[in-house]
Amino acid sequence: MNTIGYSIQSTQRTDELSVPGYSNQTKSILKISLVLIFYIVTNYINGMLIAVFFKHNIFHRNPRYILFIHMVLNDVLEISIAIFMHIWKEVAYIMPVSLCYFLMTIAITTTYNTPLNLALMALERYIAICKPLHHSNICTLRRTYIILNIIWLISFLSPASDLIIILNVEPMSFFSTKIICYSESFVRTYFLSVKRSCMSFTYFAVAWLTMAYTYIHIVFAARSASRSEKSSARKAYNTVLLHAIQLTLSSLMFLHPLVTNLWLYYQNQDPGDVQYFTYVLIILFPRLLSPLIYGVREENFRKYLTEYIKVCTLIKESPSR
């Protein structure tokens, strides 16, 4: 998946290309520094959300919050793999095939987890608003954890099937070699490429259809609700709308190759630099917005986050007093 690193159209190393005003080593350092800043800021926010979740029991009994924190943990794992692979590429360039495929498996699985998780969160809101009497029976903690295990299994189907195809076309010695580690390195047959595209389209199409279905039904429920219920219904369809924005941000990864190719077509620039900047803007930046869209907006998380920040501020100021 493009989530784990920008595609390399040429085998020529980025640090072998001349850039006016910058040494090759300086350019690599700047690239690594920028992605590390994104990583630290994003995971600092995610870390606060995770700390708040595990510290307060109010979140442990609610499937809504469990689904949300699962998405946060999934993002942490996904972006950690992405940053690790980017730094490896800048420093060592090539990677053992076995290690690359292991990391790629995690990256692809976590990438597919995102739309499925968002679809589940939208369904939970739909049940809470449209079928409130059945919500406690349908959305139990046990079922929530079971369905999370199922989406991991479903997401794992893509890299697992990739491995089966690769083993049929490549000798075992292939896994003892080294390659430039990005998704297209393992596309050994046309069928594998088609299979990947179909699975990606299916996962995101299911998520989009679920979003549309739940949003439409929640809007109708809000219109027919009593005054006392309109507020919660309105919050619910605003939440689903935000999930759709998150899904849109996740879907941007499909535009990454297109944006890169258009940029290269109209601007005569170093392909490696163009692919890097589109990678940061389209792949990494949405991961920074994702926890802010839901975590900071949600009332309970916002309340405890504010307390958490106040406590951290007091701890930092106390030594100087």
Q: Supply the pLDDT for residue 183.
A: 75
pLDDT for position 218: 83
Domain ranges for the chain = 22-320
Q: Could you read off the pLDDT of 157-181 as tens digits, one per residue?
A: 989 998 888 888 888 888 888 888 8
Strand partners, 22: 19
User: Taking 90 as the threshold, does the pLDDT of residue 220 lie above it?
Assistant: no
Q: What is the CB neighbour count within 10 angstroms for residue 233?
A: 22
DSSP string, 40-80: HHHHHHHHHHHHHHHH-GGGTT-HHHHHHHHHHHHHHHHHH
H helices present in the chain, as ranges: 24-55, 63-91, 97-130, 132-138, 141-169, 190-224, 227-251, 256-266, 271-279, 285-291, 299-317
pLDDT of residue 7 exceeding 50, the answer is no
Distance separating alpha carbons of residues 116 and 121, to the nearest angstrom: 9
* Per-residue pLDDT tens over the stretch 81-101: 988 888 888 788 789 999 999
Q: What is the pLDDT of residue 140?
A: 92
Instruction: Say what the pLDDT of residue 15 is.
Output: 40
What pLDDT is stored for residue 229 in this prediction? Answer: 62
Find the range with the poorest average confidence among 2-6, 69-73, 75-79: 2-6
Q: At what angle do helices 271-279 and 256-266 cross, to 10 degrees?
A: 140
Q: Report residue 314 as tokens.
A: 């007091």
Q: For residue 319, what pLDDT is reported?
A: 55
Higher pLDDT, 17 or 252: 252
**What is the rounded average pLDDT of the residues 244-255?**
74
Give the whole-angstrom CA distance, residue 273 versus residue 191.
31
Query: Nearest 5°: phi and psi at 220?
Result: -65, -40
Give burial (CB, 10 Å; 0-12/13-18/19+) of 169. exposed
pLDDT band, very low/low/confident/very high, at 238 (cuts 50, 70, 90): confident
Question: What is the mean pLDDT of the segment spanning 23-41?
Answer: 80
- Which pLDDT score, from 0 to 100, does residue 120 have? 92
Both tokens of 225, joined, read: 């609700």
Residue 19 φ/ψ, nearest 5 degrees: -125, 120
pLDDT in tens, 101-158: 999 999 899 989 988 998 998 899 889 888 888 888 999 999 999 999 999 999 999 8
CATH superfamily to which 22-320 belongs = Rhodopsin 7-helix transmembrane proteins (1.20.1070.10)
CB proximity list for 191: less than 8 A, separation 6 or greater: 165
Residue 146: the pLDDT is 96
- Residues 291-306: what's their mean pLDDT? 74
Lowest average pLDDT, out of 15-29, 216-230, 290-304, goes to 15-29
**Band of the pLDDT at 199, cuts 50, 70, 90?**
confident
Of 39, 30, 37, 21, which is closest to residue 90 (Cα–Cα)?
30
Of 2 and 9, the one with more pLDDT: 2
Q: Are 103 and 56 in contact (CB under 8 A)?
A: no
| pLDDT above 60 (res 18) | no
Contact 63, 141 (CB under 8 A): yes
**Angle at the Cα of 34 from the Cα atoms of 28 and 36, rounded to 5 degrees:** 100
**Closest of 248, 255, 270, 287 to residue 71, by C-alpha:** 287
* pLDDT above 50 (res 47): yes
Average per-residue pLDDT for the chain: 79
Q: What would the two tokens of residue 303 be?
A: 């309340």
11 pLDDT band, cuts 50/70/90, is very low
Percent of the chain with pLDDT over 90: 14
Can you tell me which residue has the tokens 């499937």?
Answer: 63
